[in-house]
Structure 1
Amino acid sequence: MEYSYVFLILLLPLLSFLVLGLAGMKMSHKAAGLIGTLSLGAVTVLSYYTAITYFTTERLADGTLPTIVPFNFTWLPLGSLSFDLGFLLDPISAMMLIVISTVSLMVHIYSFGYMHGEKGFERYYAFLSLFTMSMLGLVVATNIFQMYMFWELVGVSSYLLIGFYYPLHAAVHASKKAFIVTRFADMFFLIGILIYGYYVGSFSFNFTGTEIQMAECAAPFLQGDVSRAVAAGGLIIPTALVLMFIGGAGKSAMFPLHIWLPDAMEGPTPVSALIHAATMVVAGVFQIARLFPLWIQYAPDQMSIVVYVGVFTAFYAAAIACAQSDIKRVLAFSTISQIAFMMVSLGVCLPSHEAGVVLDNHAQLGYMASMFHLFTHAMFKACLFLGAGCIIHAVHSNEMSAMGGLRKYMPITHITFLLSCLAIAGIPPFSGFFSKDEIITACFQYSPVVGWIMTGVAAMTAFYMFRLYYGIFWGTENKELHAAHTPHEAPWTMTFPLIFLTLITITCGWAVNFGSFVSASGKVYEIHLDTQIAITSTVIALLSIGLATYIYKGEKQPIAEKMYKMFPRLHRAAYKRFYMDEVYMFVTHKILFRFVSKPVAWIDEKIINGFIDFTAWSTNESGESIRSWQNGDVRTYAVWFLTGAVALSLILLAI
């Protein structure tokens, strides 16, 4: 049977996790790394083979690619509902197999050099395997509950990897922060799933309706009676979808649930590349894409929530990135901003008329552009994070003040980092230009205001990325620090992934007709660049790069210093992330802890525990009071026996 091997895509990383987790301590670092890397290499080969086989499958009569379920079985029956486990192949899951396996394999190879000599090396590779298995299981899920189960495993994996350096307080704090914030958001995801499952009667995906006509496509989307949920109330499905979106917003670090991602940089830098740039943080985007027919058909008005949250998050994160000095945190806020681009692109996918009309070019463009940017961003952002790892490996610091002039010492890292910066800035012919311009075009079709805001955010992206580039590779060299520890190029295990990801970044924009593989309708979608928007956005990006060059390229930066002095409060506010962490601390400590937690704790201690203590005390006292009745003296028993018999006799006579 074709695709009968696909279970190995999930089984191999699971076995790698179990072997390394249980027996890794008895292995050498090299053996543990080889087991993790070779298993992931096999998964990558299988994933590429599966994706290529799927995308070259003969299309159906209506021009769509088929939805294939190689296996699916009931794991836990629950009345009329059931929790199933299976493997679903469709365009977005096949695309995600390529993204996850490619980036994960590069991270595995890269970690040989970056994590060399680290305590817990085998534990690190075990956690990488667990994360990869969890993310793969999420994207190939055949039903919402399987997605949620692997969604939570992804969260656990993230917690373990962020807190890898657990002896450090900052790492422990960051891992707990990520876990708590994402679990809070996931609570809403679960509530949405339960609401939907209760009214529809199923959790399973069923894409048998693949026509563009959304009225025909969305109805059989789940194996269950969607009309029953609609009849129960017009807001049932929209409410469920918005609750699920909150879960996705937490995982994808959308405002105001973004606070965990910058602190997550306390984990090893390869982890940042894998989890917080290319895979885990796009889970929320993937969730909306997977449920896209339901949004279009039953909650088109609520999609504006996705747009507004995404637009604000994109601008907010870009503004903060302009002021950060820690290179990993610049990339972290850049990631938040770019994920917001994908969210906005999905949110602007509205048909031109009421539900039931044919999905028009506008909706097609936004969906395709979002998935395209997900693919391209994964490659160049992973390259940027891995490049940052090489830099940190060379100078032993995350701060730009410890860098400057590194182009002389690290030529490979310099070139790959520069090309990735050009890609994220949207400069042709790099991949970011093609995907980001499609998003901006979709935004202008939705609203000129949204289009110009996102164009401005794209300009900010170009500015802060080249501020970062010049701060690392040009600028003032810290000669005193470099004299003590001369920077050097990373070993080949670290530079090879940079070169590989850069090659994809250079070529995949113009060499791959992404619309022929992934589209909202499942049919081939021809990509046509809007010349006016492409030229405008490119010119604006070049002007932003020119401004960053003017301010930050020289060894001395008088203009930057003057700007800091002119706007000290604005700069400090952006550097402090506009005090969102302080707001959270105030709300939790001053409001929730004081007015909610303390009263609840008092009720728990004084009333609930007091009642339980009272029952224990009263029982003990009662036992003490009748203790003499059971003293072992037969004469006492005889007296009580006769007393009871007389009492019963008198009662019976009275009756």
Structure 2
Amino acid sequence: MGVFNQAEIWLEEGDHEVEFGMVSLSFKTTITIITLLFLLGATGKSAQIPLFVWLPDAMAGPTPVSALIHAATMVTAGVYMMVRSNVLYHASDTASAVVALVGAGTAIVAGYIAVGQWDIKRVLAYSTVSQLGFMVTAVGVGAYTAAMFHLVTHAFFKALLFLASGSVIHGMEHGHHHLAHAHDGHGHDHDADAHDDDFDPQDMRFMGGLREKMPITYWTYLFGTLALAGIIPFAGFWSKDEILLDSLKAGLDDGHMEGYVGFGVLLVAAAFTAFYMWRQVSLVFYGKARHEAADHAVESGRVMTVPLMTLAAFSLGIGFINIPSGFPILSALFGEHRFANWLEESVTYAHGGTANLLLAALAVLVATIAIYFARSVYSDEAMVDLSQDPLEDDLHIRRVFGWANAKLYWDEFYFSFIVYPYQRAAKWLADVLDWQFWHDFVHERIIYRSYRGATDVLTEPVDKGVIDGSFNKLGDLTRQAASRVRLIQTGYVRTYALSVLFGSLLVIFLILFPVIRELLGI
């Protein structure tokens, strides 16, 4: 019997207590503590508030690593852990509410920050954080199937977007290298290219017009964007719509406030998703090239485009593995919630979704309006000169965009209140406590000087005065006695014979002394 089965039995029986030494807690309270600690681990592993800042920085790695590790597999491990622990989360309303609020907060914050980024991969990084927030929210409202379904669909279209961004970067670098060789061929010196030193192949401000230069990359990127934005029939529509529906049901049917909050916040986050992704598509592929490198970019080779086309096909079709029941035509064509039925073998509280066409239409409408608004803002005319973002043309929106571009000053907050205080504390501990107090005062003054004083006392008065003096005196007495005794040594045979005679007589006397004593009656 596994841990989760045993937990279900204890929950059904009730009145179980868990003892921790002198402290005893109810089983449900213990489960709440355990699940909250699970959530703490998942915030680090799956990049949730407040431990999400590492993921965008990790995008400095190679694009295939970002596609596999940072979008599809490693970062979703926290979500997988919580889904597999669904028995425990289902038993703790408190922990589930906290999970839902953390996930919803992460989804909206990361989606908002993505609007203000210029790096093509950093936009996708914050998008990943936001989509992880969708999955975590799903766990919090009890939509365990929807969480895993979005994990699967997100793996395909986000891997596609990262690899496609790598294709874009590769094309930009190719164009930049072409310029460098062209300048070298025309005899241009190093100073002629000094103006190009700030070129960044990942900065979308240098791109534009790549739709004609890289058609395969463009169309596959478009597939990934529409899937991420939740446009029907792409994969992201099915999984994201199921999360929204289950969140709303958690509020309407179960009376959980976090369900209403999750639904409202995720709907806004979905609008942010569609907006920043179409902003990215516009900046990268539409309009005219804003740098000569973009003008000389070429399509990537088949070793890069074939995986893109494969992932684009999955981004379109993978959502059909979990069609909700009652959806016209498609539920009969592909079957109803097959993924949910498969998941029930390992997830106790997995359940299939039911189609809600009104909500689906609302979600698609929100995404479509966001895309239209993004294209209106980032029109071909507006992108001719990107000395500043078109959103900054409005003084009221400029500040809002500035906050997004500054990532809500999250890094500055961490540095000001965590990193720098920690460094100052570490410096104080190292310099003052460890070196000045422990080394200089305790070791040098108390231990070393006390030991040195004690050794000075033991060396001079005790060792040299008492011990050496005593043995030196004994040596002097021995030397004096030896100088007198050696006078016996005359070197004459007669003296030695006489000594032997006296010695022999003394020995004989000692031997006969008891007999003499008995004869004399002494």
**How high is the TM-score relative to the length of structure 2?**
0.72
**CA distance in structure 2 between the aligned counterparts of 1:632 and 1:599, rounded to whole angstroms:** 45
1:9-408 maps to which residues of 2 (within 5 A)?
Answer: 206-208=3-5, 215-216=8-9, 227-229=17-19, 232-234=24-26, 235-297=29-91, 299-349=92-142, 366-396=143-173, 397-408=201-212
Q: Which residue of 2 aligns with 1:36?
A: none
Residue number among 578, 584, 588 corresponding to 2:414 in the alignment: 584
- The reply to whether residue 618 of structure 1 matches residue 450 of structure 2 is yes
CA contact (8 A) 1:516 1:523 kept: no
Q: Which residue of 2 aligns with 1:176?
A: none
CA contact (8 A) 1:252 1:339 kept: yes
Q: 1:382, CA displacement in angstroms?
A: 0.8
Secondary structure of 2:3's counterpart equals coil
**CA distance in structure 2 between the aligned counterparts of 1:307 and 1:547, rounded to whole angstroms:** 29
1:476-495 maps to which residues of 2 (within 5 A)?
Answer: 476-482=288-294, 486-495=296-305
Q: Which residue of 2 aligns with 1:435?
A: 239
Q: 1:620 to 1:424 in 2, by over 3 A?
A: same
Residue number among 466, 473, 479 corresponding to 2:285 in the alignment: 473
Q: 1:296, CA displacement in angstroms?
A: 1.9
CA contact (8 A) 2:4 2:87 kept: no
Q: 1:383 to 1:637 in 2, by over 3 A?
A: farther
- The reply to whether residue 573 of structure 1 matches residue 398 of structure 2 is no
- The reply to whether residue 528 of structure 1 matches residue 354 of structure 2 is yes
Q: 1:254, CA displacement in angstroms?
A: 1.1
CA contact (8 A) 1:443 1:454 kept: no
Q: 1:277 to 1:229 in 2, by over 3 A?
A: farther
**CA distance in structure 1 between the aligned counterparts of 2:280 and 2:447, rounded to whole angstroms:** 66
What amino acid sits opposite 1:514 in the alignment?
F
**CA distance in structure 1 between the aligned counterparts of 2:125 and 2:82, rounded to whole angstroms:** 22
Q: 1:479 to 1:580 in 2, by over 3 A?
A: closer
Q: 1:623 to 1:496 in 2, by over 3 A?
A: farther
CA contact (8 A) 2:127 2:273 kept: yes
Whichever of the two has the greater Rg, that structure is 2
Q: Percent identity?
A: 34
- The reply to whether residue 426 of structure 1 matches residue 203 of structure 2 is no
Residue number among 189, 194, 218 corresponding to 1:414 in the alignment: 218
Secondary structure of 1:228's counterpart equals strand
Secondary structure of 2:276's counterpart equals helix
**CA distance in structure 2 between the aligned counterparts of 1:406 and 1:217, rounded to whole angstroms:** 60
Q: 1:238 to 1:549 in 2, by over 3 A?
A: same
Residue number among 435, 441, 449 corresponding to 1:605 in the alignment: 435
**CA distance in structure 2 between the aligned counterparts of 1:217 and 1:273, rounded to whole angstroms:** 42
Q: 1:296 to 1:407 in 2, by over 3 A?
A: same
**CA distance in structure 2 between the aligned counterparts of 1:383 and 1:461, rounded to whole angstroms:** 16
CA contact (8 A) 1:551 1:557 kept: no
What amino acid sits opposite 2:290 in the alignment?
N
Q: 1:631, CA displacement in angstroms?
A: 6.9
**CA distance in structure 1 between the aligned counterparts of 2:370 and 2:10, rounded to whole angstroms:** 43
Q: Which residue of 2 aligns with 1:111?
A: none
CA contact (8 A) 1:437 1:529 kept: no
Q: 1:586, CA displacement in angstroms?
A: 1.1
**CA distance in structure 1 between the aligned counterparts of 2:121 and 2:46, rounded to whole angstroms:** 17
Secondary structure of 1:232's counterpart equals strand
**CA distance in structure 1 between the aligned counterparts of 2:109 and 2:202, rounded to whole angstroms:** 22
- The CA RMSD measured in Å over matched residues stands at 3.1
Q: Which residue of 2 aligns with 1:627?
A: 459
Q: Which residue of 2 aligns with 1:507?
A: 317
Q: 1:470 to 1:619 in 2, by over 3 A?
A: same
**CA distance in structure 2 between the aligned counterparts of 1:588 and 1:521, rounded to whole angstroms:** 38
Q: 1:216, CA displacement in angstroms?
A: 2.9
**CA distance in structure 1 between the aligned counterparts of 2:19 and 2:306, rounded to whole angstroms:** 52
What amino acid sits opposite 2:105 in the alignment?
F
What amino acid sits opposite 1:638 in the alignment?
F
Q: Which residue of 1 aligns with 2:198?
A: none
Q: Gapped runs of 5+ residues in structure 2?
A: 174-200, 252-259, 323-337, 476-522
Q: Which residue of 2 aligns with 1:164?
A: none
CA contact (8 A) 2:112 2:404 kept: yes
Q: 1:466, CA displacement in angstroms?
A: 0.9
Query: RCO higher in 1 or 2 (8 Å CA, sep ≥ 6)?
Result: 2
**CA distance in structure 1 between the aligned counterparts of 2:98 and 2:239, rounded to whole angstroms:** 23
**CA distance in structure 2 between the aligned counterparts of 1:580 and 1:523, rounded to whole angstroms:** 36
Q: 1:507 to 1:625 in 2, by over 3 A?
A: same
Q: 1:524 to 1:244 in 2, by over 3 A?
A: closer
Q: 1:380, CA displacement in angstroms?
A: 0.6
CA contact (8 A) 2:321 2:339 kept: no
**CA distance in structure 2 between the aligned counterparts of 1:537 and 1:518, rounded to whole angstroms:** 25
**CA distance in structure 2 between the aligned counterparts of 1:529 and 1:595, rounded to whole angstroms:** 56
Q: 1:344 to 1:589 in 2, by over 3 A?
A: closer
**CA distance in structure 1 between the aligned counterparts of 2:207 and 2:223, rounded to whole angstroms:** 19
Residue number among 517, 521, 541 corresponding to 2:342 in the alignment: 517
**CA distance in structure 2 between the aligned counterparts of 1:600 and 1:318, rounded to whole angstroms:** 41
**CA distance in structure 1 between the aligned counterparts of 2:16 and 2:436, rounded to whole angstroms:** 48
Q: 1:226 to 1:281 in 2, by over 3 A?
A: farther
**CA distance in structure 2 between the aligned counterparts of 1:578 and 1:640, rounded to whole angstroms:** 87
Q: 1:621 to 1:251 in 2, by over 3 A?
A: same
Q: 1:524, CA displacement in angstroms?
A: 7.8
Q: 1:233 to 1:597 in 2, by over 3 A?
A: farther
Name the stretch that deviates more: 391-400 or 515-524: 515-524
Name the stretch that deviates more: 437-446 or 581-590: 581-590
What amino acid sits opposite 1:454 in the alignment?
L
CA contact (8 A) 1:467 1:548 kept: yes
Q: Which residue of 2 aligns with 1:461?
A: 273
Q: Deviations over 1:356-386 (max 9, x none)?
A: xxxxxxxxxx110000000110111011011
CA contact (8 A) 2:208 2:294 kept: no
Q: 1:524 to 1:555 in 2, by over 3 A?
A: same
Q: 1:563 to 1:605 in 2, by over 3 A?
A: closer
Secondary structure of 2:69's counterpart equals helix
What amino acid sits opposite 2:271 in the alignment?
A
**CA distance in structure 1 between the aligned counterparts of 2:64 and 2:11, rounded to whole angstroms:** 39
**CA distance in structure 2 between the aligned counterparts of 1:523 and 1:620, rounded to whole angstroms:** 73
CA contact (8 A) 1:217 1:293 kept: no
Q: 1:441, CA displacement in angstroms?
A: 0.5
